[in-house]
Chains A and B, each alone.
Chain A
Amino acid sequence: MKKQAYLLISLILIALFLLTACGPAKPFTADDFAMGTVITQELYGADAQKTSQKVIAKIKALEALMTINASGGDVNRLNDQDGNGYVAVNPETMSVLKSARKISELSGGAFDVTVGPVVKAWGIGSDKPQLPPDAVLKHLVALIDYKDVQLDQANNRVSLQRPGQIVDLGGIAKGYAGDVAKAIYQKNGIQSALINLGGNVVVLGHKPDGSTWCIGIQNPRSETGEVVGVVHVSDQAVVTSGDYQRYFEKDGKRYCHIIDTQTGYPAESGLMSTTIVASSSTEADGLSTATFVLGLTKGLDLIKRYGQAEAIFITTDKKIYVTKGLQGNFELKDARHEYTYVQEG
């Protein structure tokens, strides 16, 4: 009896020592540049550094396939063959185009990868942004139609129906890269990791101590790094679209980089930012753009119909709408009391 009690107490003491003596596990972190943005990774566990390097190499390969800023990739070859028949593409390009198609159909074309000609005409985020003439925009808007991207999935071939059309995966490729990164973490035995691709955050699992990841939501009207709230997530993507990321100003008016596919002008739907929380980073990326274009009411409706995402919408009159499934995991951090928190029913 005495011996057993002694043993028990010794064990408790050893456990206590182990708990107190070890500090929190430190992640391996890395900053890299790809897809025209900064990519930050935070990985816990063995092989963290090696795995992070694999992820960056993979993302650079995806970038080469999907960019329209350098020649030779799948998307540029497709754009070069506009109105000229099928082009063979990598299965991964096909996969992104398929996801894009799904979100386009669901959003009635509010998200549409054939927005390319209009994006090019504005040049927002490039050296020479400009306000294109009305007539030019009208002509270019007529070229936007996701149904003109024909997917021959059996043979991994894609065609672009009409001359002049341009596919631009800028609104979904980073999302896809996030999903790919998560798969690479899992394949390499990592159980806990975070990747931030220029504002698209994807987390794998929980943090090593079992707690959820705290992802800040950028305050759309403050300096970078200031948040309006925090969402607690595990195994999910948190993707934001906003009017503050890339824009240019002319005659005192702000033109943001997200184009309304109906008008050809930057979206002005009464939203400053939309954040989507979902398990698919690819689809969350498309949905954040679509809801930003659609505005509050139609955006909330889209999220409902999609059925596998939660959302945070911030309106230009400074109200923060949070969908029901996220309310328990959302924390308002509005230091200057600028915003009104609205719990969506």
Chain B
Amino acid sequence: MNIRMFKKGDLILIISLVLLSGLILAWNTFSSSSKEGPVTAVITQNGTVLKTIDLASVKNPESLDVSQSFHQVILVEKGRICFSESDCRDKICVKSGWLTKIGDKAVCMPSKTVITLVGDHQEIDSIAY
């Protein structure tokens, strides 16, 4: 071990850099993704994004009217979102119920409206059904 290979200044620099990278690593691991991390709801209609909502920051329940070819309402509350009303035929969108976790998805085929919950830490990439 020849510690004298470096000057004192070098050592301080190296140690502080190591500490700094450690801090950044810790920040990346724990801040943005503790448990599941922030959950964002993305609402698209016919492939176009209508709205993105950070579900954690929703304070009061809100109804979004996304009616186009059908009468359709999406309800957003803190941490969850759902299709609450639709006059499409099978109402599969409404029956999908609340979406709460990353990867959850509700689709209305007739109105071509999709709600997807996205986030950094997704356990499952896609579902075969």
Residues of A within 8 A of B5 (CB): 1-2, 5
Q: Are B114 and A6 in contact (CB under 8 A)?
A: no
If A32-B47, A223-B96 touch, whether A20 touches B21 (CB-CB below 8 Å) is yes
Contact partner of B127 among A17, A30, A215, CB < 8 A? A215
Contact partner of A225 among B47, B103, B112, B125, CB < 8 A? B103
Name the residue on B nearest A230 (C-beta): B124
Interface residues of A (CB under 8 A from B): 1-2, 5-6, 9, 13, 16-17, 19-21, 23-24, 29-33, 36-38, 40, 42, 56, 127, 194, 196, 199-201, 203, 207, 213-218, 223-225, 227, 230, 238-240, 242, 245, 275
Interface set, chain B 61-112, CB cutoff 8 A to A: 89, 96-97, 103-105, 107, 109, 112
Contact partner of B24 among A20, A230, A242, CB < 8 A? A20
How large, as a class, is the contact surface on chain B?
20 to 34
Q: Are B107 and A213 in contact (CB under 8 A)?
A: no
If A20-B28, A38-B114, A230-B124 touch, whether A13 touches B109 (CB-CB below 8 Å) is no
Q: Are B125 and A213 in contact (CB under 8 A)?
A: yes
Q: Are A218 and B129 in contact (CB under 8 A)?
A: yes
Additional pairs, 9, CB under 8 Å, beyond known A13-B14, A216-B127:
A1-B5, A13-B18, A17-B24, A38-B107, A42-B126, A196-B126, A224-B129, A230-B123, A240-B129
Does B60 reach chain A (CB closer than 8 Å)?
no
Q: Are A33 and B112 in contact (CB under 8 A)?
A: yes
Residues of B within 8 A of A5 (CB): 5-6
Interface residues of B (CB under 8 A from A): 5-6, 10, 14, 17-18, 21, 24-25, 28, 32, 44, 46-47, 89, 96-97, 103-105, 107, 109, 112, 114, 116, 118, 120, 123-129
How far is B4's CA from A1's CA once the two chains are assembled, in angstroms? 12
Residues of A within 8 A of B127 (CB): 196, 199, 201, 215-218, 225, 227
Between A and B, 26 residue pairs with Cβ closer than 8 Å are A2-B6, A6-B10, A13-B17, A16-B21, A20-B25, A23-B120, A31-B114, A36-B109, A194-B125, A199-B127, A199-B129, A201-B127, A203-B125, A215-B125, A215-B128, A216-B124, A216-B128, A218-B127, A218-B129, A223-B96, A224-B96, A225-B103, A225-B105, A230-B123, A239-B128, A240-B128
How far is B25's CA from A19's CA once the two chains are assembled, in angstroms? 8
How far is B109's CA from A24's CA once the two chains are assembled, in angstroms? 32
Residues of A within 8 A of B126 (CB): 40, 42, 194, 196, 201, 213, 215-216
Residues of B within 8 A of A240 (CB): 128-129
Q: Are A30 and B24 in contact (CB under 8 A)?
A: no
Q: Are A6 and B21 in contact (CB under 8 A)?
A: no
Q: How far does the Cβ of A178 sit from chain B's closest Cβ, in whole Å?
A: 11
Residues of B within 8 A of A215 (CB): 124-128
Residues of A within 8 A of B103 (CB): 225
If A37-B109, A223-B96 touch, whether A21 touches B24 (CB-CB below 8 Å) is yes
How far is B128's CA from A209's CA once the two chains are assembled, in angstroms? 22
Residues of B within 8 A of A23 (CB): 28, 32, 120
Residues of A within 8 A of B18 (CB): 13, 16
How far is B128's CA from A194's CA once the two chains are assembled, in angstroms? 12
Residues of A within 8 A of B109 (CB): 33, 36-38
Residues of A within 8 A of B28 (CB): 20, 23
